[in-house]
Amino acid sequence: MVLPMTTTSPNAASRTRHVDIAIIGSGFSGLGAAIKLKKLGSYSFVVLERGADVGGTWRDNTYPGAACDVPSQLYSFSFARNPEWSRSFSQQPEIQKYIRSVAEKSDVLDHHVFGCDVNSAQWDTAAQQWHLDTTHGRFTARFVVSGVGALCEPALPNIAGINDFEGELFHSARWDHTADLTGKRVAIIGTGASAIQIVPAIADKAGTLDVYQRTAPWILPRLDRPYTRFERFAFKHIPGVQRLARTAIYASRETQVIGLAKAPKLMLGLQALAKGMIRAQIRNPELRKKVTPDFRIGCKRMLISNAYYPALDRANVDLITDGIAEVRGKSIVTADGTEREIDALIVATGFHVTDSPMFAGITGKDGRTLAEVFNDTGMQGYKGTTVAGFPNMFFLVGPNTGLGHTSIVLMIESQLNYVIDALKKIKSNNIATFDVLPEVQNEYNAILQKQLSDTVWMTGGCASWYLDKHGNNTTLWPGFTFTFRRMLKQFDTQAYAITVMSDHTDIAAPQTAAPAARANTTQGTQA
Question: Binding residues for ligand NAP, how many (CB under 6 A)?
Answer: 24
Is 412 an interacting residue with respect to ligand NAP (CB under 6 A)? no
> Which of these ranges, 141-149, 200-208, 220-228, 343-351, lies near ligand NAP under the rule CB under 6 A?
343-351
Provide, rounded to whole angstroms, the least separation between the CB of residue 46 and ligand NAP. 28
**CB of 299 closer than 8 Å to CB of 461:** yes
Is 406 an interacting residue with respect to ligand NAP (CB under 6 A)? no
What residue type is assigned to position 519 of the chain? A
DSSP line for 246-301: HHHHHHHHHTHHIIIII-GGGGHHHHHHHHHHHHHH---HHHHHHHS-SS-TTSSP
Binds ligand NAP (CB under 6 A): choice among 128, 129, 194, 242: 194
Beta bridge partners of 210: 187, 318
Is 403 an interacting residue with respect to ligand NAP (CB under 6 A)? no
Judged by beta carbon, residue 4 or residue 192, the one nearer ligand NAP is 192
Q: 475 CB contacts (<8 Å, ≥6 apart)?
A: 150, 353, 354, 379, 399, 400, 402, 465, 466, 467, 468
C-alpha–C-alpha distance, residues 37 and 171, integer Å? 35
Binds ligand NAP (CB under 6 A): choice among 348, 409, 436, 498: 348
- For residue 305, how many C-alpha atoms fall within 13 Å in the half-sphere facing its CB? 28
Q: Which of residues 214-253 bind ligand NAP (CB under 6 A)?
A: 214-215
> Which of these ranges, 97-105, 112-120, 185-193, 384-392, lies near ligand NAP under the rule CB under 6 A?
185-193
> Which of these ranges, 275-283, 311-319, 349-357, 515-523, lies near ligand NAP under the rule CB under 6 A?
349-357
Binds ligand NAP (CB under 6 A): choice among 25, 192, 298, 391: 192
Helices (H), 181-228: 195-202
Is 198 an interacting residue with respect to ligand NAP (CB under 6 A)? no
Burial class (CB in 10 A: 0-12, 13-18, 19+), 66: buried
Is 74 an interacting residue with respect to ligand NAP (CB under 6 A)? no
Taking only Cα atoms into account, the Rg of the chain, rounded to an integer number of angstroms, comes to: 24
Is 147 an interacting residue with respect to ligand NAP (CB under 6 A)? no
Judged by beta carbon, residue 142 or residue 405, the one nearer ligand NAP is 405
Is 157 an interacting residue with respect to ligand NAP (CB under 6 A)? yes
Provide, rounded to whole angstroms, the least separation between the CB of residue 54 and ligand NAP. 18
Q: Which of residues 350-379 bind ligand NAP (CB under 6 A)?
A: 350-351
C-alpha–C-alpha distance, residues 165 and 87, integer Å? 39
- Count of C-beta atoms within a 10 Å radius of residue 186: 27
Binds ligand NAP (CB under 6 A): choice among 48, 103, 193, 249: 193
Q: How far apart are the first and last CA of the chain?
A: 6
Q: How far is CA 80 from the centre of its chain?
A: 20
C-alpha–C-alpha distance, residues 142 and 134, integer Å? 16
Give which of 68, 60, 56, 64 is closest to 94, Cα–Cα: 68
Show the binding pattern over residues 165-184: x = contacts ligand NAP (CB under 6 A), - = does not.
-------x------------
Judged by beta carbon, residue 149 or residue 264, the one nearer ligand NAP is 149
Binding residues (CB under 6 A) for ligand NAP: these are 67-70, 151, 157, 159, 172, 189-195, 214-215, 301, 324, 348-351, 465
